[in-house]
Structure 1
Amino acid sequence: MAFGKGHHLSLIDGSAFIFRAFHALPPLTRKSDGLPVGAVSGFVNMLWKLVEENKGPDAPTHVAVVFDKGSHTFRNDLYDQYKANRDEMPEDLRPQIPLTREATRAFNIACLEQEGFEADDIIATLACRAREAGGRVTIISSDKDLMQLVGDGVEMFDAMKNVRIGREGVEAKFGVGPERVVDVQALAGDSVDNIPGAPGIGVKTAALLINEYGDLETLLERAEEIKQPKRRQTLIENADQIRLSKRLVTLDSDMELDYGLDSLEVQEPVAEDLLGFLTEMEFRTITRRVAEALGAEVPVIEAPEAEQGEDAGDEAEEVPFDASAYEIIRDADALAGWIAEARARGWVAVDTETTGLNEMTADLVGVSLSVEPGEAAYLPLTHRAATSDDLFGSDELAEGQLALDEALDLLKPLLADPSVMKIGQNMKYDAKIFARYGVAVTPIDDTMLMSYAMHAGLHGHGMDQLSERYLGHHPIEIKTLLGTGKGQITFDRVPIDEAAKYAAEDADVTLRLWKAFKPRLHRARVTTVYETLERPLVPVLAEMEMAGIKVDKGTLSRMSNAFAQKMAALEDEIQELAGEKFNVGSPAQVGDILFEKMGLPGGKKGKTGKYSTPADVLEDLATEHDLPARVLDWRQLQKLKSTYTDALQDHINPDTGRVHTSYSIAGANTGRLASTDPNLQNIPVRTEEGRRIREAFVATDGHRLVSLDYSQIELRILAHIAGIDALKQAFAEGQDIHAATASEMFGVPLDQMTPDVRRQAKAINFGVIYGISGWGLARNLRIPRDEAQGFIDRYFERFPGIRAYMDDTVARAKETGYVETLFGRRINTPEINAKGPTAGFAKRAAINAPIQGTAADIIRRAMIRMPDAIAKLPATMLLQVHDELLFEVEEGAVDDLIGAARAVMEEASLPAVKLDVPLVVDAGQGANWAEAH
């Protein structure tokens, strides 16, 4: 039957699949002869996934995998520099290329390539012919060069992200429809393929020009009309180069092919051929899956005799998960055997099981170890004996457990052995648990932090999520052991046999993730980030968290009472303004007063039919009315009281008398640390009440708290990154930057500056870093929106480099899918090309991330160097709050500490990055945190 209406052609960009597989997966060699097969394995798995998922009414009727053949094409004849700057193919990928063709044929799928043409040209020719014949086409690729083909029945599908790309997706990427993509590409050029384009014109500007003039030829013919001199000159001088660029990016959709669409009809795989190829490659897992799906017998893949400890690079998933195979270590001899295994390999995955999530109070219940995929064991230590008649369970230890002290004595030398890598998932937790039992854990690798270094912004980094995503395995859920709600038990009450399956699996998963992630760090170009900013921070934070900070419970109690009195006074004031009594703590009643009784604008009812009064609504109204402003003040006090002065009292550790926060290294995409249980980073400092909470954080007798705080670090980084000469000069001269900005914007001499004008400039300075809008600034300053927008417009007029930085950053994020800090931290921006409200948020996040991320990297570098710098001083680093470090130091050593810590902080970017502006650190000291800050 001839290809036509009702038929669906699926064209797979084979070259893209190969390179994606090669760079995304760990190296894998065939065990029998050491042949590299990692890319082939990834390619086969992706192809099988497509075959399995393409079922049902929308399944393709015709399919082909299309490859590049050779590196010389007609484009090299047009332009000898085409793709000239591409790296040589990696040596271990070269032998895998022909194997991917074999794999395609083994799947009984058409395998297409043609000398002198790129895969994209073949795809273009077939797609256009299928479209003309009345059929549908899906191009399985994310390659931007193929987007010129989209429309009228042709769409693209990004198999990695599971996203379909239609006309809207192309417009989001290029700012024009598919029919004008080549015009934009011709102007913007492409550094990857070495397409020259028009110097200085990026995708965004190119799209603006094409949309204004209609097409490239019209633009070039009318280039004299362009108002911007530099742009006009570029187009006139480079017209021939731009036209050449268009020929290079335009796909050949009319190739001569010696086959037709009908020859691409879908064929079922022949079990013998496909299983024969997979067996030859020695892919155990996929061979088993395919055999089961095809109803064939699973071939036996013999493991060579010489295979002993040499498979560190193997796919972690090659060994199936089997919870029944895990060992329970019940005596010293068995534990000694596992310790010997770890020493022989030089690595061991370690995980602890405890009675709770708080590392400062939880008790150790057991330890898991894994040395190879599938080889894991659980060492139970303090499980309780089962009992039927005791509501609370027995306190007697269950039988068959090694004594806690004996086990730790055996483990201690291994966990501190510098020649054995200890691998963990969120290793800071386990290290703190061990530290409380007098056991040091070093050196460490952390799979959570490896994932964070590679995948920040793409997904979470918890073990279960990583296991499902990268190992295809859903781990046993803890709630199946502990239960939920009131009937929940602690881990020491779980029977050992059941506990072992769960606990040993955690170590097994962690080891497999390590084997998958470790080789990928250098391919993702984040090895330096992981090794200098992530891994060395773990022991530093663990020490800080265990030190804790003293909090005066009496001070907190008095503040709670004072806040309660202030809230009562505000309630009276609010009710007087409203003219009636109502519950100020009820958002719905506040809404009725504002929108029903007072008739104010902006009221919206939720699904329940009641008014919503979130902070942004009240902030808008507060610019013109007192009542919503007072409600905001009341809510602020309520939050301070409930979140801090009341709750902090419960966080004081009864054994230490101190509060021990926990820092999450992978908590924010930008590299900023997050603080939890309790969160000490969100204590408000702009209000007097918020600042007073810091009075409760005190130094012990004979000591002082010392605060060192980077002065305006993000503005300094902005001045450096965006190249703002006026800001650089102001910082270099030590001027008051907010006053200097106000002087630039409003034309007010520095000696005539008023606090109010300076305050406005300060709000804009900091607001711009976060992509603030006119609405946002209006809320901050409680001024009308038009006035606030005028301030922002004037700011960009005075500092045009900032707008240019913002536009360039967003354009780069759209092009690459990520932004980077000055230290190479990659922050992925998957939503940057989205439509709707998320687009604005994604753009603001992309603009801010390199600035905030660089600041975060700098203070991380300072913290990592700090222990050595203050080692000989009677001082301890206690807290990090954004740009501030807080220390506790003996009274006589305050000046020495300030000198040493300030030097580390001000030079923290060196030698990796030399900033154009100086880093300045403000220091303060006092009996409490409020005095010190």
Structure 2
Amino acid sequence: MSENLKKAIGSGDHLILVDGSSYIFRAYHALPALIRKADGLPIGAVSGFCNMMLKLLREQINGGKATHLAVIFDSSRITFRNEIYSQYKAHRPEAPDDLKPQFALIRDATRAFDLACIEQEGFEADDLIATYSRQACERGAKVTIVASDKDLMQLVRDGISMYDSVKDRVVDEAVVIEKFGVPPEKVIYVQALAGDSTDNVPGVPGIGVKTAAQLVLEYGDLETLLAHAHEIKQPKRREALINFAEQARISEKLVTLRQDVPVDTPLEDLVAHDPDPRHLIAFLKAMDMTTIARRASQVYDIDPTEIEPDPRMLPGGEGIVWKAPVRRETPATDLFVSAAEPNAKAASNKVDAAQSAAMALALQNAENIRKLPFDHKKYQTVQDVEQLEKWVERAREVGVVAFDTETTSLDVMQADLVGFSLAVTPGEACYVPLQHKSQDADLFGDGFLGGQIPLKDAMAVLKPLLEDESVLKIGQNMKYDWVIMKRYGATIAPFDDTMLISYVLDAGRGSHGMDELAKRHLEYATIPYSQVAGTGKNAISFQRVDLDKATAYAAEDADVTLRLHMVLKPRLVAEKLTTVYETLERPLAAVIARMEMRGISIDRNILSRLSGDFAQGMAALEAEIYELAGESFLVSSPKQTGDILFGKLGLPGAKKTATGQWATPASLLEELASAGHELPRKLLDWRQLAKLKTTYTDALPGYVNPETDRVHTSFSLGSTLTGRLASSEPNLQNIPVRSEAGRQIRKAFIAPAGHKIVSADYSQIELRVLAHMADIPQLQKAFADGQDIHAATASAMFGVPVNEVNSDLRRSAKTINFGIIYGISAFGLAQRLGIGNGEAANFIKQYFERFPGIRDYIEDIKKTCRENGYVTTLFGRVCHYPLILTGKPQERAAVERQAINAPIQGSAADIIRRAMIRMDDALKEASLSAQMLLQVHDELVFEVSDDEIDKTLAVVRKVMEQAAEPAVSLKVPLVVDARAAQNWDEAH
């Protein structure tokens, strides 16, 4: 700090004291992980600290600017409190590897702002803050402590308040009373009784914050309470207070802040003043904090281009003691190569220094996490509110908590909450049972086990945590837990999802379920569900699992999820995929959850009538099939069908399965039908009707939720390689839209009275993406002019004016247009068009001659995939193809076709994801009540009030057509066809 800057403090002055030590941890967990590009140096917490310092110096905090300001740090873990109680803070875990270098950097940042950077051996930062606060208050100054640490709340009084910078709120006496149930001057008594697991303050066993507050309010202080402990009516409480009286007195000494520290730096030296802007900006530029440097240069009116980065703080500079961890010999991007892909080590070696260092850090971090043992004996079963409150408080202190629910069903809209689990650090986890029953409980009675917190009481404690913006909630498939808790009145935010992080990092490398991720990343086998709930006839619901087994299973889930987050989240930064996760995956989870909860109405009468029609159609087809076969047989039997087609009629293409019966896949029946055989065609028609009847018209009524009277499908966000969503229970994405029968089924999806169904569908979005990515001028012009793209393609291919293109040419062009996207072969095209292989090959040859950019694009994609093992979409999504170098030609060709299509289909999927993420806010901003119900590939389905249709259509079109922007400016326009009708079919 600059010398000779002294000013006595008194009335009218404002002292701001920043709890630097606790802020480091808070910022680390609350803010995104950032690294310096040049060497991978972690700077996330430092960046947050610099932002806050700039705000403190320039803006009013708690009603005024600072006249005096200091940042206070802990000097070491060993203080005078360890002499009182040797185990004080003994259980605190080591700081994360990527946080450790930031301790020194934040001190450097404090000096760059020319602020007092204070720490003193033998004392905690809280003691220094308490001492300075008392001194300033005695001299008539106003004091604001920038912190969220509950231990500092004992200092709050007239003239001294706290400011929580993360929540942007002032902590005054009312907030303290809300927190502890007592005024600030009595907080130490509550803390002495309740203890503190974070600092290992023992307290009195069995007494939580609420009970402690009641006792303190009744008896006034700790000594008076202990003197009258024998009068306490509750036996357990009375015995605990008598037996642990001395422990309570020790705890009081531990939690009481010293206000008489002989501070080395006097108050008058803490004068707040503008820093030397050149020194500050030099530090910020060296740290690669260009945005903050630009803001600082504007504040202090200086040209940042004239200032060089501080050489001491550059990579290798004398001010930097951190070194990037040594990389493994294995290429950083080649993390997971399975035994099935021995030839797939095609990771890129062109990784810049920063990414290399960040990856090395992530790998080292993963190794450290894997070494941590699992100890199920340490997991706790939480059975009273006070114990739960301690866990919630612990989560708030850490700033991160893994959360998982246990329920009665996988049907999220009908499942009941049985319990939930929390984990705050590796190995520190608990299970909170809520509605467990004994195994012999009456089916119709509640039969709840004792020792469980009433659901209402548990939710009163849990809800504020789940909705606390300063605590990051971590889940595995958080969408499920989000819906469960929303049904119980709590909205989880903010959150991370380890399943989605894995999906972003490793799509194509393996599945993303927790058990598989634990094996892959933690080298740990989780407890199988069957081990706690049984299998087959002996299986029981989780609600009837014994509490000890339930705790081991559920707490482990939360513990594993937390560890997976610690392993996977740093890789997002290292592999430059943070933006993909934060813009395409995480925000979509809540959007999809809301869609699932809304559901859609169906008309059961229509479905019942269709079931009858389909049954009649199947019977008619069976009669024709029997006549063609010359005998009757069980049409639904593949074995009997194969015997007729190949055993009796001797049709070509016969192949046998491993069991020795004839194979009759749809693809083979299609080939036979294309060759002119009528029986296979009738069999295909019969199978189609049978599938529609069993899958939809018969089954859909069974999916109607009895409470909402609507159908609620489940969308999977991380199940396809290219980013497309999948639908299940029921699958509403596979209803045929091109067949009359399929369209009839869509008519059963209806809007309630006073509303309409709106269908908004991207027009030929994948062809538009292809035109952009392959940079095809002819296609781009056709789209820009609004031409019929298939007619335009036929015109370009066959040299015919657009207005003279007949239906046959257009059909051929359409088939090739879409076939090219999927890497179609001459054989495949011949099958689709019903022509010879030679003619089909000629069509493809002509296509590439007319659009040479497409062939170049295809070859570039294959080359890139072979070199890297993956391809990417326009928005950075990575699709891995580990078998791209397989030695099996057929298999390799199939993988290449997938790789060719993935950037196109994936980019289209990303575009509609971006539209969905923006849609709810856009509708709300326009004061519209429309609700998004379904997503089916390139189509969004809404339920809209009759009097808002025109306005809604305008908003929906605008959001969807501009969805790619500003990330990508497409060279072709996106066009959305949207219309409203009483049912889904008529709207489409």
Scaled by the length of structure 2, the TM-score of the pair is 0.65
Deviations 1:579-629 (A, max 9, x none): 332222222222233223333211112233321110111111111222211
1:676 equivalent to 2:728? Answer: yes
CA distance, structure 2, for counterparts of residue 34 and residue 930 of structure 1: 55
Cα gap change, 1:743 to 1:92, in 2 (>3 Å): farther
Looking at structure 1, the residues matched to 811 and 567 of structure 2 have their Cα atoms a distance apart, in angstroms, of: 51
Distance in 1 (CA, whole Å) between partners of 2:96 and 2:551 is 35
Note if 1:765 corresponds to 2:817: yes
1:767-815 Cα distance to aligned partner (Å, 9 max, x none):
1111122232233334444333332222222212111111110100110
- Give the match for residue 814 of structure 1: 866
Q: Choose which of 397, 407, 412 in structure 2 pairs with 1:359.
A: 412
Task: Give distance in 2, aligned partners of 1:322 and 1:726.
Answer: 64
Distance 1:681 1:627 in 2: 29
Aligned amino acid, residue 773 of structure 1: S
Q: CA deviation at 1:496?
A: 1.0
1:463 equivalent in alignment to 2:514: yes
Query: Which of 475, 496, 505 does residue 445 from structure 1 map onto?
Result: 496
Worse-matched range after superposition: 922-931 or 87-96: 87-96
Residue of structure 1 equivalent to 2:746: 694
- Structure 2 counterpart of 1:654, one-letter code: P
Q: Which secondary structure state, in structure 2, belongs to the residue aligned with residue 786 of structure 1?
A: helix
1:393 deviation in Å?
A: 9.0
Contact 2:479 2:589 in 1 (8 A): yes
Q: Does 1:662 align with 2:838?
A: no
Larger Rg: 2
| Matched-pair contact (CA < 8 Å) for 1:622–1:782 | no
The residue number in structure 2 matching 1:786 is 838
Q: Please name the residue that 1:495 is paired with.
A: 546
* Structure-2 separation of matches of 1:750 and 1:526: 44
AA aligned to 1:772 is I
> Deviation at 1:816?
0.9
Q: What displacement does 1:741 show?
A: 1.0
C-alpha distance in 2 between matches for 1:585 and 1:35: 61
Q: State the Cα distance separating 1:752 from its structure 2 match.
A: 2.3
How many residue pairs match? The answer is 676
User: What is the aligned-residue identity percentage?
Assistant: 54
Counterpart of 1:798 (choices 840, 847, 850) is: 850
Show the counterpart of 1:615.
666
Q: Structure 2: how far apart are the matches of 1:674 and 1:764? A: 26
CA offset digits 1:132-169 (Å, max 9, x no partner): xxxxxxxx86799xxxxxxxxxxxxx995265999xx5
Instruction: Determine the structure 1 residue equivalent to 2:430.
Output: 377
Residue 691 of structure 1 deviates from its aligned partner by 1.4
Q: Separation in 1 of the partners of 2:468 and 2:448?
A: 30
Q: How has the CA–CA distance of structure 1 residues 35 and 613 changed in structure 2, closer, same or farther, with 3 Å as cutoff?
A: closer
Is 2:691 the partner of 1:639?
yes
Instruction: Determine the C-alpha separation between the residues in 2 that align with 1:902 and 1:680.
Output: 23
Conserved? CA contact 1:717–1:851, under 8 Å: yes
Give the C-alpha shift of residue 511 in structure 1: 0.8
Q: Name the CA distance, whole Å, in 2 between partners of 1:823 and 1:473.
A: 34
Work out the CA distance in 2 between the residues paired with 1:595 and 1:92: 77
- Residue 572 of structure 1 corresponds to 623
Residue 868 of structure 1 aligns with an amino acid whose one-letter code is: D
Distance 1:453 1:192, change over 3 A: closer
Structure 1: gaps of 5 or more residues: 1-21, 40-86, 101-139, 145-157, 175-188, 195-285, 287-311
Give me the whole-angstrom Cα distance separating, in 2, the residues matched to 1:573 and 1:518.
60
From 902, 905, 928, the equivalent of 1:873 is 928
Asked whether the equivalents of residues 819 and 846 of structure 1 are also in contact (C-alpha less than 8 Å), the reply is yes
User: Judging changes above 3 Å, is the alpha-carbon distance between structure 1 residues 366 and 895 closer, same or farther for their aligned structure 2 residues?
Assistant: same
Conservation of the 8 A alpha-carbon contact between 2:383 and 2:433: yes
The structural deviation recorded for 1:556 is: 0.8
Partners of 1:855 and 1:92 lie apart in 2 by 46
Q: Which amino acid aligns with 1:762?
A: K
TM-aligned CA distance change 1:192 to 1:159, over 3 Å: closer
Structure 2 counterpart SS, 1:658: coil
Amino acid at match of 2:851: F
**Paired position in structure 1 for 2:974:** 919
Q: 1: CA distance between counterparts of 2:43 and 2:725?
A: 29
Residues 452, 461 of structure 1: 8 Å contact kept: yes
Q: CA contact under 8 A between 2:502 and 2:568: conserved in structure 1?
A: yes
Q: Please say if residues 26 and 517 of structure 1, whose CA atoms lie closer than 8 Å, have aligned partners that are also in contact.
A: no
SS at match of 1:536: helix
Question: Aligned partners of 2:561, 2:755: CA distance in 1, in Å?
Answer: 42
Q: Give, in whole Å, the separation in 1 of the partners of 2:780 and 2:955.
A: 26
How far apart, CA to CA, are the structure 1 residues paired with 2:776 and 2:569? 39
Q: 1:428 aligns with which of 467, 479, 497?
A: 479
Confirm whether residue 533 of structure 1 aligns to residue 709 of structure 2.
no
- Is the CA contact (8 Å cut-off) linking 1:26 and 1:38 kept in structure 2? no
Aligned partner (choices 449, 466, 485) of residue 398 of structure 1: 449
> 2: distance between equivalents of 1:633 and 1:793?
34
CA distance in 1, matches of 2:893, 2:814: 23
* Distance of 1:600 and 1:861 partners within structure 2: 50
Q: Which residue of 2 aligns with 1:10?
A: none
The one-letter code sitting in structure 2 at the alignment partner of 1:571 is: E
Letter in 2 for 1:325: K
2:937 aligns with: 882
Corresponding residue for residue 249 of structure 1 = none
Tell me the alpha carbon deviations over residues 192-222 of structure 1, each in whole angstroms, 9 at most, x when there is no partner.
Answer: 799xxxxxxxxxxxxxxxxxxxxxxxxxxxx
Go from structure 1 to structure 2 and tell me whether the alpha carbon gap of 1:35 and 1:520 turns closer, same or farther (over 3 Å shift): closer
Which of 370, 390, 397 is the matching residue for 1:317? 370
Q: Secondary structure of the equivalent of 1:518?
A: helix
**Pick aligned residue for 2:898 from 828, 845, 851:** 845
Aligned partners of 2:525 and 2:950: how far apart in 1? 54
- Matched with 1:597 is 648
Which residue of structure 2 lines up, in the alignment, with residue 894 of structure 1?
Answer: 949
| Amino acid aligned to 1:617 | L
SS of structure 2 residue aligned to 1:659: coil
Q: Is the 8 A contact 1:26 1:519 kept in 2?
A: no
What are the equivalent positions in structure 2 for 1:38-53 lying under 5 Å apart?
A: none
- Residue aligning to 1:863: 916
TM-aligned CA deviation for residue 191 of structure 1:
6.7
- Whether the 8 Å CA contact 1:869–1:900 is kept in 2: the answer is yes
Please list the CA deviations of residues 36-67 of structure 1 after superposition, one character each: whole Å capped at 9, or x if unmatched: 7999xxxxxxxxxxxxxxxxxxxxxxxxxxxx
Q: Please list every run of 5 or more consecutive structure 2 residues that lacks an aligned counterpart in the other structure.
A: 1-38, 45-91, 102-313, 354-363
Residue 337 of structure 2 corresponds to 161
- Partner of 2:499, secondary structure, is helix
Match for residue 542 of structure 1 among 585, 593, 600? 593
Coordinate RMSD, CA, aligned: 3.2
CA contact (8 A) 1:368 1:379 kept: yes
| Counterpart Cα distance in 1 of 2:679 and 2:496 | 55
Q: What's the CA shift for 1:646? A: 1.2
Are residue 413 (structure 1) and residue 467 (structure 2) matched? no
Contact conserved, 1:620 with 1:778, CA < 8 A, in 2? no
1:645, distance to aligned residue in structure 2 (A): 1.1
Work out whether residues 385 and 395 of structure 1, in 8 Å CA contact, stay in contact via their aligned partners in 2. no
1:736 corresponding residue in structure 2:
788
Mean CA deviation greater in 739-748 or 853-862: 739-748
The equivalent residue for 1:830 is 882
Q: Is the 8 A contact 1:353 1:364 kept in 2?
A: yes
8 Å CA contact 1:386–1:398 kept in 2: the answer is: no
**Residue type of the alignment partner of 2:897:** R
* Deviations 1:59-79 (CA, angstroms, capped at 9, x unpaired): xxxxxxxxxxxxxxxxxxxxx
